Chain A
Amino acid sequence: MPSLHEVVETNEMFEKDNLDVRTITLGISLLSCIDSDLEVLKKNIYETITTTAKDLVKVGKEIESDYAIPIVNKRISITPLAFIGASACKTKEDYVELAIVLDQAAKDVGVNFIGGFSAIPAKGMTRSEELLIRSIPQAMAKTDCLCASVNVGSTKTGINMDAVKLMGEIVKETAIATKDHDSIGCSKLVVLCNAPDDNPFMAGAFHGVTETDNVINVGVSGPGVINEAIQTVKGKDFTALCEIIKQTSFKVTRLGQLVAQEASKRLNIPFGILDLSLAPTPAIGDSIAEILESMGLEEVGCPGTTAALALLNDQVKKGGIMASSSVGGLSGAFIPVSEDQNMINAAASGGLCIEKLEAMTCVCSVGLDMIAIPGDTEATTIAGIIADEAAIGMVNAKTTAVRIIPVIGKTLGDSAEFGGLLGFAPIMKVNTKSCAEFINRGGRIPAPIHSFKN
């Protein structure tokens, strides 16, 4: 039987510290939809999604009501579409048609995002993957809730530099195609290295081919709860700091586990994984950067930031791992600039630069995330940023990603407004010295050696 203190403390986490379940993501395999006729494929995809996910939003709301907890997003991830469309899609316009079908299916079942407009050219690129990638700018311009991702490398395969070069161009073209809305298309496009098959978080979510037909993955959040807990160990040593983060992470993760099990039971779909990520929102008190500052940094980005983030990331995992029967996805601390008020402040003050963010990505859960850069940044420079980030992921055997927005028509001193969970971002400075000759070489960076770890 819970005590009064426990009940009050738990409810304060939701009310005062913005604790929420960030997403219930339903993974749907579309492999059974494959057909060589585009019209049949479109029909199969629409019917599979709207049938499998018809109760997702309703069940999400029931769970919210039973436990009086917020479940912010209900989402869908699908098999990477480059596999599904390979037989039917002969042109990039065919893929744009599929994108519109996916967007419509998502809207009709009431989810806010659908992920899986994806290709995995980690080593080589198939014709289908290239068509899908080249369709991304128009697909993003013509849809609202579709997310695209491209996995350009892995620790086992190395980095496909042809794909990296192409993605530099595609990010730029997507920015141009959505320039009337601060290039928002790029906020739904992520370039990954070592992409996991079971990630419930957008924009990189897709339902990997290693997965079963349908699966429920849940992502928790709760930066505010961790920050509040840290206030109780002010001035104490790192042992005390780590302990309080672990304990709090345990509680947050148990919430996610409960929601995942309930959703799985009520939808009669197997539970896949719990992603124990700390995901910020632009709301006050829902910031990862604020946690780092509460540890004793004057402003995120100053010396000590990488160490503080490494500590946070690791303790969140250590506390969370025992609280769930199955952990996966991106588990760790996200550092999206536009979605985190204290990150935004530090970027605007000039204290947080892209190079420091790149260092932080070596120890955070993903990578360079939601960073607005000048609209006139060269495609090869964007490809260079992607290559750097992929190299960090490849060598360190971790997931890394780039979700960067060259905001067309804006430059240093301006800011971009994406709205809602995506927030707003000051335009950050990019090193403009050229890497074109390097990027234009073409080919592949081979996989790294797995010994002599220095």
Chain B
Amino acid sequence: MEKSIISVVGKDRVGIIARICSYLADNDVNILDITQTIVGGLFQMMMICDTDKCTKEFHVVAEELHGVGDELGVQIKLQKEEIFEKMQRI
């Protein structure tokens, strides 16, 4: 299973997680873990996901999530997990 990371940064509002989760459910992306915090009104969230069953190509999901972010006024990124493992851990 190849894990991916969805990160969300932006101004807090009602329904951010709900909207993202419904998009992921519609596209067969399984959520493995969610971490979330709010620092000074800034919403930060990270989801660890399994995109194996998703039929869309990775870059298509990334672009569509970016679009969902635009609707919500937050920045959403989809990235393969490896980049964080490589850059942050020895």
Q: Which of A2, A8, A68 is packed against the most chain B CB atoms within 10 Å?
A: A2
Q: Say yes or no for A432: interface residue by CB 8 A criterion.
A: no
- Which of chain A's residues have a CB closer than 8 A to the CB of B82? 67, 258
Q: Say yes or no for B59: interface residue by CB 8 A criterion.
A: yes
From A124-132, A208-216, A249-257, A393-401, give the one contacting chain B.
A249-257
Pair A66/B86 contact, Cβ less than 8 Å: no
- Which of chain A's residues have a CB closer than 8 A to the CB of B87? 10, 251, 254-255, 258
- Which of chain A's residues have a CB closer than 8 A to the CB of B48? 1
- Which of chain B's residues have a CB closer than 8 A to the CB of A6? 84, 88
From B13-21, B23-31, B72-80, give the one contacting chain A.
B72-80
Q: Say yes or no for A449: interface residue by CB 8 A criterion.
A: no
- Which of chain A's residues have a CB closer than 8 A to the CB of B58? 65-66
B12 to chain A, nearest CB (A): 15
Closest chain B residue to A322 by CB distance?
A: B90
Closest chain A residue to B5 by CB distance?
A: A7
A426 to chain B, nearest CB (A): 37
Interface range on chain A (Cβ under 8 Å from partner): 20 to 34
Q: What total of A-B pairs shows CB separation below 8 Å?
A: 63
Pair B37/A66 contact, Cβ less than 8 Å: no
Pair A257/B79 contact, Cβ less than 8 Å: no
- Which of chain B's residues have a CB closer than 8 A to the CB of A8? 7, 9, 44, 46
Q: Say yes or no for B81: interface residue by CB 8 A criterion.
A: yes
Q: Say yes or no for A62: interface residue by CB 8 A criterion.
A: yes
Q: Say yes or no for A31: interface residue by CB 8 A criterion.
A: no
A107-146 interface with B by 8 A CB criterion: none
- Which of chain A's residues have a CB closer than 8 A to the CB of B77? 11, 68
Which of A9, A65, A257 contacts B86, CB < 8 Å? Answer: A257
Known: A11-B77, A68-B77. A1 touches B33 (CB 8 A): yes
Q: Say yes or no for B83: interface residue by CB 8 A criterion.
A: yes
Pair A66/B79 contact, Cβ less than 8 Å: yes
Closest chain B residue to A1 by CB distance?
A: B48
A222-277 interface with B by 8 A CB criterion: 251, 254-255, 257-258
- Which of chain B's residues have a CB closer than 8 A to the CB of A69? 83
Instruction: Give the CA-CA distance A66 to B77 in the complex, in Å.
Output: 10
B38-90 interface with A by 8 A CB criterion: 44-46, 48, 58-59, 62, 77-88
Pair B46/A10 contact, Cβ less than 8 Å: no
Which of B46, B62, B83, B85 contacts A4, CB < 8 Å? Answer: B46
- Which of chain A's residues have a CB closer than 8 A to the CB of B44? 4, 8
Which of B5, B9, B59, B86 contacts A255, CB < 8 Å? Answer: B86
What are 20 A-B pairs with beta-carbon distances under 8 A? A1-B81, A2-B81, A2-B88, A3-B35, A4-B36, A6-B84, A7-B5, A7-B46, A9-B88, A10-B84, A65-B59, A66-B58, A67-B80, A69-B83, A251-B87, A251-B88, A257-B86, A258-B82, A258-B83, A258-B87
A6-B84, A7-B7, A251-B87 given; name 5 further pairs at CB < 8 Å. A2-B85, A3-B35, A10-B87, A258-B83, A258-B86
> Lowest 3 CB-CB distances: which A-B pairs, in order?
A2-B84, A65-B59, A6-B88
